[in-house]
Amino acid sequence: MNEKYLIAIPMIVFTLFSSFGIVQKYNKITMNMATTCASCPDNLPQCSQSDHPVLGGLDIIPYFYNDSYKGTRGNDNIVSTYNGFNYLFTTNEHKIIFDANPEQYLPQYGGYCAWGVAGEYCPEYPWSVDCLGPSGNWNHGTVLSQKLYFFLYEEAKDKFVANVDDNIEAGDERWLSWFSTTDEHMNTDCFVSESDT
């Protein structure tokens, strides 16, 4: 057989597997098998406290109709409570929208960085049920497949969106291995707001 074909065939097979996300899934599995993860930051605060509003009081509704929305803290007097967590809104209209169907508007993965949940594994990253992160950033929230996702940086968002279906599947699987439901744990204190940037 011609040497060119011997070199080309493995490259074609790798390209096909890569395009279907198989290599990414293989990397995720092998990274999970690592025995030592990066250390959880000592200064990581308690990220989920039911007496604090979700994502510091961010009004989440505008992300669903305004692509350039960068986040605004809601009014302490316009609040809804869902599954033990408080959500603030800038207007009564936003509260009414949320109250009609809360699960449609909840931030996925509790409002942590979706790429961190879906794509960052041991040994480089410490993220686990005991070390949640990285933070979600008000400036990098976006709606994908009719769900709200947050990212720490634009680069994390780009990585997630590059293979969005596989990353949503990986993130959902990992999150549900940590928590029994998608809305059991919400990020109240580990976020980057407009005043932090």
Q: Does 23 score more than 80 pLDDT? A: no
Whole-number pLDDT of residue 86? 98
Whole-number pLDDT of residue 93? 99
Q: Does 183 score more than 80 pLDDT? A: yes
**Mean pLDDT, all residues of the chain:** 84
Confidence of residue 151 (pLDDT cuts 50, 70, 90): very high
Confidence of residue 88 (pLDDT cuts 50, 70, 90): very high
Whole-number pLDDT of residue 22? 44
Q: Do β-strands 191-192 and 136-137 pair in parallel, antiparallel, or remain unpaired?
A: parallel
b/e for 48-61, b at 16 or more Cβ within 10 A? beeebbbbbbbbbb
Residues 6 or more apart whose Cβ sits within 8 Å of residue 35: none
| pLDDT tens readout for residues 39-59 | 887 656 578 888 999 999 999
Report d(CA 123, CA 37) in Å as an integer.
Answer: 4
- Residue with the bigger pLDDT between 144 and 34: it is 144
Q: Does 194 score more than 80 pLDDT? A: no
**pTM for the predicted model, two decimal places:** 0.79
* Mean pLDDT confidence for 143-163: 97
